[in-house]
Amino acid sequence: MKIKHIALAITSAAALATTGSALATTGTATAEVTAMPPALAIEEIQPYQMQIERAPGATMPTGEFSLKMWSTNGIAVDPAETVQPGCLKITGDTSKPVLLGVTAYSSLTAPQGAEISFYGEPKFELATSTTDCASAIAGSFQQAGIGYVNTAATTGETGELYVAWRYYRPTSASSGFMQMSQWEEGTFTGTVDVQVDYEM
């Protein structure tokens, strides 16, 4: 009887190994729901524009020249007089204080490689409106140096703020005026980084 009892025990164990058994355990999943203010968005409405018009029959310099000396370098009119400021639209929370500033800029490059750079670090000017770009451009401009995010403004009742910007005295500043690496007829393009500090 003892031997028979051992045989049954072995058979029973083998049956458990081949049929398996049900297991149960508990894991924890996480749910996250974030409450936040309206998102801050920045959209370019129009780029900064300036025209450099060659005077009729003028022989242009073959190398680098300064736009500060535009009248002696074959340019018909002061390019600064043709400037159309750029404009950005900021959309966020309503009646929200913000701080604005220019944090970086690049040279402007033409398709064939000519560059407009700056003699010294340029300054910028900013103006704002809660109505539209035209109102911002017609408003009062404040000087803004590179890296200083300290121009104060407030978004409107719709959460919108329009920011007009331009280079400060690009053809007459004592430092930071424009210069061309060589004459090239075409469109020069570059970038300016405008930072918006928006307290959530």
The confidence band for 23, taking pLDDT boundaries of 50, 70 and 90, is confident
Choice between 9 and 134, residue whose per-residue pLDDT is larger: 134
Q: What are phi and psi of 31, to 5 degrees?
A: -115, 130
pLDDT at 9 over 50: no
What is the pLDDT at residue 17?
53
% helix, strand, coil for the chain, step of 5: 15, 35, 50
Listed in sequence order, the DSSP H helices in the chain are: 2-19, 133-137
Q: How large a percentage of the chain has pLDDT more than 90?
A: 82
Amino acid letter, 99? L
